[in-house]
Amino acid sequence: MLTAGRPEVILWAQPKGTRVSRLDSFIRRLEAQRACLDLAVAAIADLPGPVLELGLGNGRTYDHLRELLPTREIFVFDRQVQAHPADRPDASHLLLGDFRDTLPNALGRLPSKAALAHADIGSGDRQATAELARWLAGELVALLATGACVVADQPLRHPSLVSHPLPEGVPLNRYFLYRHQSE
Amino acid sequence: MLTAGRPEVILWAQPKGTRVSRLDSFIRRLEAQRACLDLAVAAIADLPGPVLELGLGNGRTYDHLRELLPTREIFVFDRQVQAHPADRPDASHLLLGDFRDTLPNALGRLPSKAALAHADIGSGDRQATAELARWLAGELVALLATGACVVADQPLRHPSLVSHPLPEGVPLNRYFLYRHQSE
């Protein structure tokens, strides 16, 4: 269960009314991210198409996706590559630059529309993140096959992105899961 | 349960024989770290003394410890402070510099010997980490009250550091837990 992460001993050790620690919330976010990715991977099992990873970061979720989907092509979009060389895609699967430059031209680089996209785009700047998410939704939809799943750390609003039930134990608004349906 | 982190759906989505992804192993390490900290906090409930945090990093475990132990002084040792200002100790609880300079002189800064120490000291350099851990054990013991707990990301070898049973779900050698006993 994703909701039960602490040993029972803590039930009496933690003073009542304390807030969730940053360690707690970080673990919850990662667990939610993984649960959503795993659910999405299962949901697209019968849908052909590559995977889009928006934001490589340190390459942890990229590594997770390539473990779960060893036969799919994964195309990675990021401004720069910080990940360890072993956790980077090859040059033909790496679209380097600002999303606003790389995404609108991405369809020509893909073998077909994507079956799955993961967007981990949040930064410390809440307003810039919200603006990016607003812009992203429309651009992303153009790259997605009908029935594709989108897993995102931000809410994405678009008429053809329909919220998908979250995995058990993942509360609303911790992570976001959508299915792409034709308008 | 710490061992059950994935929704059932993944049981048939993941090809057999694939290795654990970096996302999986990162989550497991954080869950183990938190479970060990929570167990140690409970174990020292009746033992007075401050807390030592060796390696502040981004301040997540510091934040966790101060949430669990709001009335204890927490002394932080690190080479430099990268954590957000809200997640830093005040100057009187921060011992800045190389552990090899700050630890041998630390007892004079503490109100008494410590009840709990957390050492998250691993770096990318395995040999340097192992050497630091070897050196650290003896220095740390001099700062600990009898009965104190030590939670560490590296094995610490010292005659008066006795292995403490790990929390349920944390496998051997993922994280380390010791009790300080008089020699």
Report CB contact under 8 Å: A18, B59. Answer: no
Instruction: Please give the structure tokens belonging to residue A75.
Output: 């195309």
pLDDT tens digits, one per residue of A51-72: 999 998 889 999 999 999 999 9
Q: Which residues of A touch B39 (CB under 8 A)?
A: 7, 9-10
Q: What is the mean pLDDT of residues A159-181?
A: 95
Mutation to test the A interface, candidates B23, B25, B31, B118, most A Cβ within 10 Å: B23
Rounded CA-CA distance B27/A83 in Å is: 18
A-chain residue closest to B46, CA distance: A13
Burial class (CB in 10 A: 0-12, 13-18, 19+), A133: buried
Rounded CA-CA distance B148/B144 in Å is: 6
Query: Alpha-carbon torsion B152, A23, A164, A63, what sign?
Result: negative
pLDDT value at residue B12: 33
Average pLDDT of chain B? 89
pLDDT value at residue B3: 32
Q: Considering the entire predicted model, what is its pTM?
A: 0.84
Report CB contact under 8 Å: B26, A30. Answer: yes
Measured N-to-C along each axis, helices A22-43 and B60-68 cross at an angle, to the nearest 10 degrees, of 120
pLDDT tens digits, one per residue of A96-119: 999 999 999 899 999 999 999 999
Confidence of residue A174 (pLDDT cuts 50, 70, 90): very high
pLDDT tens digits, one per residue of B93-144: 999 999 999 999 899 999 999 999 999 999 889 999 999 999 999 999 999 9
Return the SS3 of A58: coil
Mutation to test the A interface, candidates B34, B51, B82, B170, most A Cβ within 10 Å: B34
pLDDT value at residue B183: 66
Rounded CA-CA distance A35/A175 in Å is: 9
Mutation to test the B interface, candidates A3, A14, A22, A56, most B Cβ within 10 Å: A22
Report CB contact under 8 Å: B26, A60. Answer: yes
Report CB contact under 8 Å: A38, B2. Answer: no
Instruction: Please give the structure tokens belonging to residue A50.
Output: 């590559």
pLDDT value at residue B7: 31
Rounded CA-CA distance B40/B118 in Å is: 10
The single residue listed with the structure tokens 């807030």 is: A19
pLDDT value at residue B123: 87
Rounded CA-CA distance A118/B73 in Å is: 42
pLDDT value at residue B17: 53
pLDDT value at residue A168: 93
* CB within 8 Å of A95: residues ≥ 6 apart: A75, A76, A77, A102, A106, A109
Q: Are B98 and B79 in contact (CB under 8 A)?
A: yes
Task: Examine the pLDDT at A34 and tell me if it is beyond 70.
Answer: yes
Task: Examine the pLDDT at A44 and tell me if it is beyond 50.
Answer: yes
